[in-house]
Amino acid sequence: MFFGELAVLRGDEDVQLILGLLAEVGTLQTIQLRILITSRPETPIRFGFIDIPETAHHDFVLHNVSAHVIEHDISTFFYHEFEIIRKRHRLSEQWPGEHVIELLVQSSYGLFIYAATVCRFIQQRRHHPEHCLSLILDEEMTSPSHTEQLDKMYTQVLKDSVIGDCEDWDRSPLSERFRNIVGSIVILFDSLTASSLARLLQVADWMVKATLDSLHSVLDIPGDRDSPIRLLHPSFQDFILHP
């Protein structure tokens, strides 16, 4: 049984309720089910697994998987999608070629969202696939079209994570805190731990933790205090610095 992107559900209680119900599947005697759940590591998701015994679930963190494994999977995804595009547009069997796919895999930096965005851009009906692909591969291209969906994803994540359902009077201080803390993570050359970042900005540790707690989708935030906070993908830095 597969549940994709559980984090898109509205309401923290709904998410935790669904996770609780799925956990009870393990008590069934007549059937045996294996459930696969994919999701961003949002706070309701992580809290929902707290009450589930560790023996009942196995966590698989994508950015901790070997880069070679991820690149192979993304390459397989590109080959599959380009085969569909070739058949749909009656293109040559040699298109786009192994070298092009290798370049796209390298550009993805291990993110399937990039690969999916590229394929959606190439499949758009307004232009021929070969033209769309050439735009992506053009080093001098300045148009943001092929990253527009990725930017929209980041925008939605930040809206939900930073602003959420807070009152109007609370939005200004939250936004300022986000700019100071996340902005520092983005521009600093060396990654810092949460406590080091708090000392640098002269703020309380809890303030850094509260700001970052809902940003696991875009930041690698370790569970221990001695490991540095890192960006999950360099495109997030571009998104913040060059909106």
pLDDT, tens only, 201-234: 999 999 998 888 878 778 888 877 788 998 877 7
Q: How far is residue 121's CA from residue 114's CA, in Å, rounded to a whole number?
A: 11
Please determine, for residue 243, whether its predicted confidence score (pLDDT) is greater than 80: no
The pLDDT score that the predictor gives to residue 163 is 66
The answer to whether the predicted template modeling score (pTM) of the entire model surpasses 0.75 is: no
CATH 1.10.10 domain range(s) in the chain: 149-241
User: Mind listing the pLDDT tens digit for each residue in 24-64?
Assistant: 776 777 777 788 877 777 777 777 777 777 777 777 777 67
Task: Tell me the CATH architecture of domain 149-241.
Answer: Orthogonal Bundle (1.10)
- Residues 6 or more apart whose CB falls under 8 angstroms from that of 96 comprise 82, 133
**Average pLDDT score, the chain:** 79
Name the burial class of residue 219, with classes exposed (0-12), middle (13-18) and buried (19+) by CB atoms within 10 angstroms of its CB: middle
In which band, very low, low, confident or very high, does the pLDDT at 132 lie, cut at 50, 70 and 90? confident
Other Cβ atoms within 10 Å of 179 Cβ, number:
13
The residue to which tokens 């549940």 are assigned: 3
Please determine, for residue 149, whether its predicted confidence score (pLDDT) is greater than 50: yes
The pLDDT score that the predictor gives to residue 143 is 42
Name the burial class of residue 189, with classes exposed (0-12), middle (13-18) and buried (19+) by CB atoms within 10 angstroms of its CB: exposed
Cβ 233 vs Cβ 188: under 8 Å: no
Cβ 111 vs Cβ 147: under 8 Å: no
Backbone angles phi, psi at 10, to 5 degrees: -85, 130
